[in-house]
Amino acid sequence: MNKRTGAVWVPVVISLVGSMASRLVLQGTVGPTQKLVNHAGLPLLQQLLWLAALPLVGGASAYVSRRAGGDRSVAAIAAVFPAAVMMPFWIAFAVKMKLPSPAQWFGLFSGVLNWIVLPGMALVCGASVFLKAQPVAGWKGRMNARTATFWLPALISLVTAMAILALAAYIGLQPRFVARGSATTVLYVPWLLMLPLCGAAGAHLSRRSGGGRFAQLAAGLFPLIAITILACFLGLIGQFVFAEPHTFHFLSAVLLGVILPGIALLVGAVPCAGQARTR
């Protein structure tokens, strides 16, 4: 893996995925609490726990960047990338604000504070330890084999799948209602149709980095693996409650949430998996 990938792109992915994943886990595990003073009623406890977790994310990102030979500025940018990527959204909100009022400006200020300033400070706080030190010697700009052949392709496959799902929801692509009644079952057809690309990306990158067939397929299927682990965790802590009859709705969830996405990822991953390429 080249130096730019190891020093920039891998740390950026680590920082972005780590911040998003920690936020999603907290939203699924921490119940409603007292709200913040302003801005969309963000739960105070969730926000505080998220800010407490972000230094670990920023530190991991900066460490990987420095170990791959990145300088201080590159490591810092990679660490604060999740906060920086929010800036265009809030700039757009400010530009499109109609009939500005003190209340709207206060809401804008609160949003910038809660989504950019405070998260950025937390990420920098964790990264600062590694920004002061010299780059770790011995890696010579290359990732270890496990990172290059599995973790990076797996993270790219996961981020791509989540980005497609978020984009589909943002542009208004509605899920298909499979069943209605006491429990509503939905199927995200546009997302399923795009999942083969995610599986293909993971398997192809793993194969190109020299990964074996198992690593290639695992990287392609990683979105399903991650979602299944998260669903099992949420189920164990009682966040999922299936309607009656439990068996029917559980099997429906397995079919629509595990089997069909798994098949879609395999459709893309299998053709791209094969004998590892030598570089």
Indicate the pLDDT class of residue 49, thresholds 50, 70 and 90.
confident
Give yes or no for residue 256 having a pLDDT over 70: yes
pLDDT tens string 168-217? 655 555 555 444 444 445 566 777 888 899 999 989 988 888 888 898 99
DSSP class per residue in the chain? --HHIIIIIHHHHHHHHHHHHHHHHHHHHSPP-PBPSSSTT-BHHHHHHHHHHHHHHHHHHHHHHHHTT--HHHHHHHHTHHHHTTHHHHHHHHHT-SS--HHHHHHHHHHHIIIIIHHHHHHHHHHHHHHHSPPPTTSTT---HHIIIIIHHHHHHHHHHHHHHHHHHHTT-PPEEEE-SSS-EEE-HHHHHHHHHHHHHHHHHHHHTT--HHHHHHHHTHHHHHHHHHHHHHHHTT---PPSSHHHHHHHHHIIIIIHHHHHHHHHHHHH--SPPP-
Give yes or no for residue 84 having a pLDDT over 50: yes
Q: Which stretch of 126-140, 174-188, 222-236, 242-256 has the lowest confidence by average pLDDT?
A: 174-188
Select the highest-mean-pLDDT range: 31-45, 138-152, 211-225, 228-242: 211-225
Q: What pLDDT does 217 receive?
A: 92
Give yes or no for residue 18 having a pLDDT over 80: yes
pLDDT tens string 101-145? 777 777 777 788 888 888 988 999 888 888 875 555 444 444 467
* Domain ranges (residues) in the chain: 1-141, 144-279
Indicate the pLDDT class of residue 150, thresholds 50, 70 and 90.
confident
Q: What pLDDT does 8 receive?
A: 85
